Amino acid sequence: MSMKKSVSVALALAFAASLTACAPEVGSEAWCKKLEDKPKGDWTANEATDYAKHCVFK
C-alpha cells in the first residue's frame, strides 16, 4: 500500500472514530433527551425499540 493511501485510510478511520465518540450511549439520559427532541417520524425502528426499552420501561 502506498504511503499516501495509508495516510488517507488512517485519516478516514480517525474521522469515523471521532464521530462515534460524540454520540451519547444508547439508553443514557442524554440519549433519551436527544431522541425526545428528535421528531418521532424521523426515528428508526431500532431507535424506537431502544427508547421504549431504556427510557420508558426502565
Per-residue pLDDT tens over the stretch 3-50: 777 777 766 776 666 666 688 999 999 999 999 999 999 999 999 999
CB burial of residue 51 (10 Å; 0-12, 13-18, 19+): buried
Cell 433519551: give the residue. Answer: 32
**Beta-carbon count within 10 A of 39 CB:** 6
Q: CA 7 to CA 24: how far, in whole Å? A: 29
Task: Specify the DSSP class assigned to residue 28.
Answer: S
Nearest partner of 35 among 26, 8, 57, 20, judged by Cα = 26
Q: Which is higher by pLDDT, 57 or 19?
A: 57
